[in-house]
Homo-oligomer: A and B are copies of this chain.
């Protein structure tokens, strides 16, 4: 690292000096994904020679990145010493800023959650949310027995599209004041770590892909139906962002769905556009539909679904209509992206079992490109787990670089 210019050219990564480091990284990744293994085992699997593996593992152990993990006695021959990744080499913070709840969790490098806190969030405005996040982050870090410096990376999920250039959040329809500039910068400063803000539907997609119903899918789509309507796309394990990070903002799809009168005009800044798909498919639309079909009294989407489960005809019909509308969304998305799996999540997604049949039947009518459609398996934790997964992705190489860097003079 010393003999090369400060800003090494691209080719530099191929240089011999990095070969050692690269092999160490590959061995560490192998340990992480394939579990504990002996040095001889690693040598066989990686194609490296035994002496090389021994040397690399000694260096990794020295750096605090790997550790011994017991021994195993083979059928014949000498006892093998197993090694595993040391998950305590670094920690990450995940935050889910939802309309009703703030959820925070600290996880170690293996992804194990070591502390968690859920805080009610209803009614808070932009800057109050940012302050509440900072306070809760402080508490949850302490609860994990950690200090600030132990958090290598923080990832925050929230509605809207964050624009790195202006430092503002766009399309954050359901969180008043969240679009204000400087909020993210403030949080970043307060946490004193690398912090990134992501769209909640995108993180939920990653969460569901990494630890939920989406595992192993080649092209995975997560549709978040709740207060608003969002979508996250994971292609070959990578989040699909689009040119401006706004991929999946399907609230603006001009679709041919069954008739649904627009919501009443609203003076609230940033409320869903009347007549938009978001307005026609989100939770509140289910309520409107049920009212049109004759239900009365104070209603929530949840109550409509419960009534449908009990067989109340108007509720059943309202749910069927919602299923048909959703099928149009799935059909549109499928014809563009060709996913093999669509997961329905969010408030309405919780009742996806009620919707599934209608969605599948309608889909059959609409298009020959029909992906599998299933309900979310992580429920309300999808965003939080996605935030942790995303944070781990950037934290792991960062920790590796830090701990294997040559000692400074």
Contact = CB atoms under 8 A, between A and B. Distances in A.
* Among A231, A243, A255, residue most surrounded by chain B Cβ atoms (within 10 Å): A243
Interface string A21-55: 01100100010000000000000011110000000
Nearest to A14: B22
A114 interface: no
A255 B252 CA distance: 12
Contact of A336 (B8, B22, B248): B248
Contacts of A246: 338, 369
Given A9-B45, A11-B47, A243-B339, A368 B4 contact: no
A377 interface: no
A339 B254 CA distance: 17
A297 interface: no
Nearest to A220: B243
Contact of A15 (B47, B171, B335): B47
Contacts of A11: 23, 26, 30, 46-48
B369 A5 contact: no
A19 B16 contact: yes
Given A15-B47, A47-B8, A249-B369, A242 B255 contact: no
Interface in A322-375: 328, 331-341, 366-369, 371
A135 interface: no
B332 A4 contact: no
